[in-house]
Amino acid sequence: MSGPRNTGIMQSILLNDGHSIPSVGFGVFQVPADGSTFKAVLCALQAGYRHIDTAAAYLNEAEVGQALRESGLPRNEVFVTSKLWIQDYGYEAARAGIRSSLEKLGLDYMDLYLLHQPYFDVQGAWKAMEEARDEGLIRSIGVSNFTPNLWKRHVPHFATLPCLNQVEFHPFFQQRELRALLAQDGVVLAAWSPLGHGNAKLLTHPLVTTLAARYHCAPCRLILRFELQEGCIVLPKSTNPDHIASNLKLFDFTIEDGDMNLLRALDTGKGMRDPEEAGRAEDLLARYRVHP
């Protein structure tokens, strides 16, 4: 894996399968499919985002696709990520789930498709994703919410190494053990909840606000810039046009090494959710249904 490289306003990271991914994406988790997703994604694309991150379980893939079409941007200029939900795990169900995502998005292919959660028939779902990649329906394949233990349990049985693992990551939870494990195979970490779900304790932490003032930026921008310099892909989300634009302005300053070390010291080693928690899989399956 290479580090970020300049491509104008945006930077990209080279994945271990040879494809490149923009280092900043626009996330749409919990953005309703009542026109809100369409408006937010179109605003993001107009602001300069070229990476949109959605999922079958978000139930807003169709509005993401609508915004892509309305933007007028060439397909090859926008990197689209979606995710297979656990309701569609298993080989045959996953093949149908992949085609469902493509149909809702209105796309011939997705740039990146992920196993959304590490539960149930992971192996069958991964095999279907490998085949869909070989058929040209997906460019790159990866996983999400894989802890070090879950990575060691499942990935050695995959024929193809994932190129990316999308997990919770922010200054309070820096995933040190997982990042060391992924680095062995050049696997990129993408950060969902890069601002800690808007955690006030993070955004108003004295160190964060002090450094934000020093670098003449908002605390959100400082945190996102820290994560980029740590080699992560960041996926901020917002429906506020000003915040959407501001969260993309991350390439006009660099945090100095000493300040990076201060931010690294904020790590608590604990996240908001534990994917290995008993009953987690069943709870998620009951909470999110992508079809009857």
User: Where in the sequence numbering do the catalytic residues fall?
Assistant: 58
CA angle 262, 227, 146 (to 5 degrees): 115
Question: Rounded CA gap, 71 and 90, in Å?
Answer: 35
Question: Rounded CA gap, 201 and 223, in Å?
Answer: 13
Structure-block tokens of residue 251: 């390439």
Rg from Cα positions in the chain: 18
CA angle 205, 273, 171 (to 5 degrees): 30
Do the beta carbons of residue 253 and residue 217 sit within 8 Å? yes
Residue among 62, 63, 69, 71 nearest 42 (CA): 71
What ranges make up the beta strands (E) of the chain? 5-7, 10-14, 20-22, 26-27, 51-53, 79-84, 110-115, 138-144, 164-168, 188-192, 233-234
DSSP secondary-structure letter at 47? H
| Residue 128: exposure state from Cβ atoms within 10 A (0-12, 13-18, ≥19) | buried
Compute how many other C-beta atoms are within 10 angstroms of the C-beta atom of residue 24. 26
Question: Rounded CA gap, 58 and 105, in Å?
Answer: 12
Structure-block tokens of residue 15: 């994945």
